[in-house]
């Protein structure tokens, strides 16, 4: 089985990033020298995705413009990475609107026609996975999913106990092969006292189309939203095989959901950028020194003569 379709939800309102997100979709914020959602698309293409459906909403038109192949073809400034992504013989982009933002489960349900009878990837459009090979974790998840003939597989990361209330948290079962665990249960955003583990859902999933049977008619859950987690929970309860695939050492998720996480993600991406990183690290070191001790030179001020 080859899995080549991907659904990228990008309809969230970005309320924690106001006022930036009054007119700019959070998915279009730069991470390093490209918008977040372009990195997500590159990660998916690197894992074999050829057809990517972006679920948008009000105020998100800039995302469609960014992936307009005509736009890149006539734009001499489009980077090689973007031009290659917009080569229709390699990747095709589609967009549809969610309507009202009723939750992640509702957004994914918009992909039913697109997925058809095929297993498909889901990648949240507001966070990237970084590591030695950005597509590596998704490739590992796909391989485990296919090998175990699973109905769903989800990338997970270990988080601190205090952070469990911000994530879907997994109850792990037995090992399945070298890179995956069976999932015994999953719960959306439990507090530390209720969390079944510290393994948190990490923005990348692969599903069989069976998922849509569980999304249909799902009642609102945490935060009065239609939760993808609740559909997965019901799949597990019905005996479907669901896997958790942990991130490995050196791999991490960077998310742009609020000002602090966005700033950290941006700074980390820039400081590790192949082209700009070295110079920016030297500048940052001088700036930090100056902020600690104002008698040292400010790297943005000329030396006094």
Please report, as ranges, the residues that interact with ligand G1P according to CB under 6 A: 104, 124, 167-168, 188, 200-203, 229, 257
Q: Return the half-sphere exposure (C-beta side, CA atoms, 13 A cut-off) of residue 73.
A: 6
Q: Which residue number, 104 or 115, has a Cβ lying nearer to ligand G1P?
A: 104
Those residues with Cβ within 8 angstroms of residue 162's Cβ, 6 or more apart along the chain or in another chain: 192
Compute the half-sphere exposure of residue 37: CA atoms within 13 Å on the CB side of its CA.
28
Query: Where are any strands of DSSP class E within 164-303?
Result: 168-176, 180-188, 199-207, 242-246, 252-255
State which residue, 144 or 170, has the beta carbon closest to ligand G1P: 170
Q: What are phi and psi of 137, to 5 degrees?
A: -60, -40
Instruction: Report residue 111 as tokens.
Output: 């992909």
Name the minimum Å distance from CB 185 to ligand G1P: 13
In the complex, which residue's CB is closest to ligand G1P? Answer: 168
Which residue in 51, 39, 48, 88 sits closest to 68, CA to CA? 88
The answer to whether the CB of 40 falls within 8 A of the CB of 79 is: no
Distances from the Cα of 93 to the Cαs of 11, 14, 65, 70, 181, in angstroms? 16, 23, 11, 12, 32
- Please say which residue, 136 or 168, places its beta carbon nearer to ligand G1P: 168
> Minimum distance from CB of 77 to ligand G1P (Å)?
32
Side-chain half-sphere exposure of 84, counting CA atoms within 13 A: 9
Judged by beta carbon, residue 200 or residue 243, the one nearer ligand G1P is 200
Spatial neighbors of 4 by CB under 8 A, at least 6 apart, are 48, 49, 50, 51, 118
């Amino acid at each position: 089985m080859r899995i080549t379709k991907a659904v990228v939800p990008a309809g969230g309102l970005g309320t924690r990033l106001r006022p930036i997100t009054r007119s700019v979709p959070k998915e279009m914020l730069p991470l390093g020298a490209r918008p977040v959602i372009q990195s997500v698309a590159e990660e998916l293409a690197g894992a074999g995705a050829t057809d990517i459906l972006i679920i948008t909403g009000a105020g998100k038109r800039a995302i469609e413009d960014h992936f307009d192949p005509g736009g890149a073809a006539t734009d001499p400034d489009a980077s090689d990475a973007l031009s290659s992504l917009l080569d229709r013989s390699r990747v095709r982009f589609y967009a549809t609107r969610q309507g009202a933002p009723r939750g992640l489960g509702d957004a994914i349900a918009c992909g039913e026609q697109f997925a058809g009878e095929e297993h498909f990837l889901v990648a949240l459009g507001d966070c990237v996975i970084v590591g030695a090979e950005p597509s590596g974790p998704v490739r590992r998840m796909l391989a485990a999913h296919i090998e175990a003939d699973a109905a769903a597989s989800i990338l997970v990361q270990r988080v601190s106990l205090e952070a469990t209330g911000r994530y879907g948290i997994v109850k792990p079962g037995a090992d399945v092969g070298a890179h995956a665990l069976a999932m015994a249960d999953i719960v959306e955003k439990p507090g530390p006292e209720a969390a079944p583990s510290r393994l948190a859902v990490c923005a990348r999933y692969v599903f069989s189309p069976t998922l849509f049977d569980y999304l249909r008619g799902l009642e609102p859950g945490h935060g009065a939203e239609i939760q993808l987690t609740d559909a997965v929970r019901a799949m597990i309860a019905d005996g479907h095989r669901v896997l958790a695939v942990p991130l490995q050492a050196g791999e991490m998720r960077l998310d742009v959901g609020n000002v602090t996480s966005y700033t950290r993600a941006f700074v980390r991406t820039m400081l590790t950028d192949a082209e700009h990183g070295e110079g920016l690290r030297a500048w940052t070191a001088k700036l930090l020194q100056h902020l600690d001790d104002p008698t040292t030179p400010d790297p943005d001020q000329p030396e006094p003569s």
